Amino acid sequence: MNSDATRQITFKDITLAWEIVGSDWLKARYERLDLSYVELTAQERDEAVLKVLDTLDGPLVEVGPHRNQDWERGWGENLSLYTEGDSDGAIIPRYFNKIALIRWMQQWIKPVNPKMEYEILGLLLDWLFELHLKNQNFFYEFGCGTGHNLLRAREQFKDLELCGLDWAKSSQELISKIAFDTQDKKLSARHFDYFNPDNSILLETGSAVFTIASLEQTGEKFVEFIDYLISNKPSIVVHVEPIGEMLDPNNLLDNLSVRYFQKRGYLKGLRDHLEALRDAGRIEIIQEQRSLVGSFYIDGYSIIAWRPI
Domain spanning 7-308: which superfamily? Vaccinia Virus protein VP39 (3.40.50.150)
Q: Please list the residues that pair with 241 across neighbouring strands.
A: 302
Q: Which of 243, 258, 241 is nearest to 124 (CA)?
A: 241
Q: CB under 8 Å to 88, separation ≥6 — which residues?
A: none
Contact 191, 169 (CB under 8 A): yes
Q: Please list the residues that pair with 236 across neighbouring strands.
A: 208
Entry field: residues in the chain: 309
Helix (H) or strand (E) holding 70: helix 68-83
- What does the alpha-carbon distance between residue 17 and residue 290 come to, in Å, rounded to a whole number? 9
Q: At what angle do helices 148-156 and 116-132 cross, to 10 degrees?
A: 50
Residue 4: predicted pLDDT: 67
Residue 210: predicted pLDDT: 98
List the pLDDT tens digit at each of the 309 positions of the chain: 345 689 999 999 999 999 999 999 999 999 999 999 999 999 999 999 999 999 999 999 999 999 989 999 999 999 999 999 887 778 999 888 788 999 999 999 999 999 999 999 999 999 999 999 999 999 999 999 999 999 999 999 999 999 999 999 999 999 999 999 999 999 999 999 999 999 999 999 999 999 999 999 999 999 999 999 999 999 999 999 999 999 999 999 999 999 999 999 999 999 999 999 999 999 999 999 999 999 999 999 999 999 999
In this structure, is the dihedral angle defined by the CA atoms of residues 121, 124, 129 and 132, taken in order, positive or negative?
negative
